[in-house]
Amino acid sequence: MLDYPEKSPIFYRDMTRGYPIMDRGEGVYIFDEQGNRYLDAAGGIAVVNIGHGVGEIAEAAAKQAKRLAFAYSGTGTSRPQMDLAKKLAARAPKGMGEVKVFFCCGGSEATETALKLARQYYLAKGQGGKYKFVSRWQGYHGNTIGALSITGRTQWREPFLPLLLGFPHICAPICYRCPLGKTYPECGVQCAWELERVLDVEGAEAVAGFMAEPIIGTSATAVAPPPEYYSIIRSICDEHDILMVSDEVITGLGRTGKNFGIDHWDVAPDIITTGKALSGGYAPLAAVIVSEKVWRTFWDKSEVFYHGHTYVGHTLSCAIGDAVQGYIQKHNLIQRSAEMGELLLKKLQGLLDLPYVGEVRGKGMLLGVELVKDKETKEPFPRETGFADRIAHRAMELGVIVIPGVQGTAPGLAGDHLQISPPFIFDEEDGALLTEVLRRAILEIGEDLTG
Ligand SMILES: Cc1ncc(COP(=O)(O)O)c(C=O)c1O
Tell me what the pLDDT averaged over the chain comes to: 97
Model confidence at 298, in pLDDT bands (50, 70, 90)?
Answer: confident
Confidence (pLDDT) at 409: 83
pLDDT tens digits, 58-96: 999 999 999 999 999 999 999 999 999 999 999 999 999
266 and 294 fall within a common domain: yes
What element of type H or E holds 20? strand 19-20
Of 282, 310, 330, the domain-final residue: 330
Range of the domain at 115: 59-330
pLDDT tens digits, 350-377: 999 999 999 999 999 999 999 999 999 9
Does ligand 1 have an atom closer than 6 angstroms to the CB of 261? no
321 and 347 fall within a common domain: no
101 and 238 fall within a common domain: yes
**For ligand 1, atom 7: residue with the closest CA:** 107
Confidence (pLDDT) at 407: 77
Question: What's the residue count for the chain?
Answer: 451
Confidence (pLDDT) at 451: 82
What element of type H or E holds 23? strand 22-26
Exposed e or buried b per residue across 5-36, where buried means at least 16 C-beta atoms within 10 angstroms of its C-beta: eeeeeeeeeeeeeeebeeeebebbbbbbeeee
Is the model's pLDDT at 188 over the cut of 90?
Answer: yes
Which position has the higher pLDDT, 300 or 315? 315
Of 287, 312, 330, the domain-final residue: 330
Is the model's pLDDT at 301 over the cut of 90?
Answer: no
110 and 246 fall within a common domain: yes
Confidence (pLDDT) at 341: 98
Does ligand 1 have an atom closer than 6 angstroms to the CB of 209? no
Looking at the CA of residue 106, tell me the nearest atom of ligand 1.
10
Confidence (pLDDT) at 303: 77
* CATH number of the domain enclosing 166: 3.40.640.10
324 and 347 fall within a common domain: no
412 and 299 fall within a common domain: no
287 and 397 fall within a common domain: no
323 and 346 fall within a common domain: no
237 and 258 fall within a common domain: yes
Confidence (pLDDT) at 408: 82
376 and 289 fall within a common domain: no
267 and 128 fall within a common domain: yes
Strand 243-248 and strand 207-212: pairing? parallel
d(CA 258, CA 253): 7
Q: Which of 45, 138, 249, 278 best tests ligand 1's pocket when mutated (most atoms within 8 Å of CB)?
A: 249
Q: What is the mean pLDDT of residues 377-386?
A: 94
Of 298, 330, 362, the domain-final residue: 330
Q: Which of 135, 140, 216, 221 best tests ligand 1's pocket when mutated (most atoms within 8 Å of CB)?
A: 140
